[in-house]
Structure 1
Amino acid sequence: MTEIQRYVAFSADPRGGNPAGVVLDAGGLGDAEMLAIAAEVGYSETAFVTGRPGGAYRVRYFSPVLEVPFCGHATVATAAALGPGEHLFVTNAGEVPVTVGTDGVATLTSVATSVADLAAGDLTALLAALRWGRDDLDTALPPRVAYAGAYHPILAVTSRERLAGLDYDVPALKALMTERGWTTVQLVHRAGAAEFAVRNPFPIGDVYEDPATGAAAAALGGYLRELGLVPADATLLLRQGDDLGRPSRITVRLVPGEPGVRVSGAAVPIAT
């Protein structure tokens, strides 16, 4: 019988963070079965360990309605379920090493990041779907599309209040994201030199918003590094989930010479 574990990631309190399903014995499951389990669990993602080739863990990630190439919070949850030590995950996006400390904090290192321009037409459509105006944008953090295992457009606003008032057009944003192959949208307010408030709509996964998004956190780290907006060896704090009543804290670390981005956070089981 398949065992489904439930964890929250990026919080030491099960009332915070982002819940994730974890199935460590999914080797006998087909795609339809994994999708059905993810839909039944109902979290933004459930991670499935489908094998262990060469000692690495083959991991796949399903939202309630589709598979995604990489998911950071479900990676942190799965690593916590495996226990302290060093683990290597083989994902659809590539290899992702994860270290888990005895304190329950997991640190993943993403695949190599990349950053591309956001087309003018896409920016217009994105702003319309978000019901934002161009005057809401922080010109110090220009719009881009960043990648760290999945693609995320990044938009920064000048005020925390604008971020807190998120109320987007779900069908319009879902259609745009589906057409462009974006997994979530990383919405950002810079609260300090090394601190950011972030929110992440995820309508393509049939989820209005993620309370914590490790893949987008890694993409944001790559974006800030590529544009020279933080030091090359920066350690950043991302505050997410506060507007949803599920506070999440994500640490992003940039290491000079390392093409990926390190993303850290606590994970704890959810009592059932």
Structure 2
Amino acid sequence: MATDVSVVRVFTDAEGRFGNPLGIVTADDVDEADRQQFAAELGFSETVFVDRSESGTASASIYTPAVELPFAGHPTVGLSWWLREQGHPVDVLTVPAAPLDIRYDEDHTWVRARAEWTPHFTFHQVRDAAEVAAADPSAYDSGHHYVWAWTDEEHGALRSRMFAPMMGIVEDEATGAAAVRLTGELGRSLNIVQGAGSRLRTTIDGDWVELGGRTAADASISV
């Protein structure tokens, strides 16, 4: 029996271009023991399995092709947007790391998180956007590597790419968890262009980081 997968792209630009694909699956449709294999076969950088049984809340598990994650940025932002599109907007989305506060504005969906919930990233600050573009994914054969450079340091704007072979991801188009972690380390709000042109925004308030971006729907698939 085929399983329906809704697909969205998270952290698009204002015209709906770019963004990181996310697979969204109803939790009851795939047994917990089969979810890692399902995510690996689907092949997106992350797939979420969602339970939306209560009004105003939902819970989800998050899988890369290789591992389950307690928290990730693009799945939580994208899923929260999709839930609102389905007529089930949420104030709280619970993932293994913690319940997450969610808010919506006209263009963006926002998730409130803490840097310690994210994986450990090795940050490589380089001179400029051209050096970011020249980074070779094959040079990173372990760990989680985030290569970045300021494009307008005064206004918190930067260019980045992320390579995560341990997660089964050669290169991630848009990485919300890394944005949260870097925001915490730098102690300032950021406006990030990652990958081919995805857009991520963050704000910081003490130990809390709010991560936001736009999401667009793609065609659903059956697996």
Do the structures match in fold with TM over 0.5?
Answer: yes
Secondary structure in structure 1 of the residue aligned to 2:192: strand
Equivalent position to 1:100, from 95, 99, 104: 104
Larger Rg: 1
Runs of 4+ in 1 over 3 A off after TM superposition: 12-15, 50-56
Secondary structure in structure 2 of the residue aligned to 1:254: strand
1:177-188 correspondence runs (5 A): 177=143, 184-188=144-148
Equivalent position to 2:181, from 219, 229, 234: 219
Verify: 1:236 aligned to 2:198, yes or no: no
1:45-64 correspondence runs (5 A): 45-50=46-51, 56-64=57-65
Secondary structure in structure 2 of the residue aligned to 1:10: strand
Change (3 A) 1:267 1:168: closer
CA–CA distance in structure 1, aligned partners of residues 50 and 203 of structure 2:
26
Q: Which has the higher contact order (CA 8 A, sep 6+)?
A: 2
CA–CA distance in structure 1, aligned partners of residues 162 and 78 of structure 2:
18
Using the TM superposition, give the Cα deviation of residue 54 of structure 1 relative to its aligned residue in structure 2, in angstroms.
9.4
Alpha-carbon displacement from aligned partner over 1:201-242 (angstroms, at most 9, x marks no partner)? 0212222111101111011110111xxxx4xxxx42101113
Structure 1 unpaired stretches of 5+: 114-146, 178-183
The aligned residue for residue 198 of structure 1 is 160
1:20, 1:44 within 8 Å by CA — same for their partners in 2? yes
Using the TM superposition, give the Cα deviation of residue 251 of structure 1 relative to its aligned residue in structure 2, in angstroms.
0.8
Change (3 A) 1:52 1:187: farther
Equivalent position to 1:207, from 149, 169, 178: 169
Using the TM superposition, give the Cα deviation of residue 169 of structure 1 relative to its aligned residue in structure 2, in angstroms.
3.6
Change (3 A) 1:104 1:268: farther
Q: Which has the higher strand share?
A: 2
CA–CA distance in structure 2, aligned partners of residues 80 and 55 of structure 1:
13
CA–CA distance in structure 2, aligned partners of residues 58 and 86 of structure 1:
10
CA–CA distance in structure 1, aligned partners of residues 201 and 109 of structure 2:
10
Using the TM superposition, give the Cα deviation of residue 3 of structure 1 relative to its aligned residue in structure 2, in angstroms.
3.0
Amino acid at match of 1:186: Y
Change (3 A) 1:52 1:202: farther
**CA RMSD of superposed structures (Å):** 2.3
Count of aligned residue pairs for this structure pair? 213
Change (3 A) 1:97 1:164: same
Change (3 A) 1:52 1:97: farther
Using the TM superposition, give the Cα deviation of residue 94 of structure 1 relative to its aligned residue in structure 2, in angstroms.
1.7
The aligned residue for residue 213 of structure 2 is 265
Alpha-carbon displacement from aligned partner over 1:161-195 (angstroms, at most 9, x marks no partner)? 2211111446x632xx2xxxxxx322210111211
CA–CA distance in structure 2, aligned partners of residues 89 and 52 of structure 1:
12
Structure 2 unpaired stretches of 5+: none
CA–CA distance in structure 2, aligned partners of residues 50 and 205 of structure 1:
24
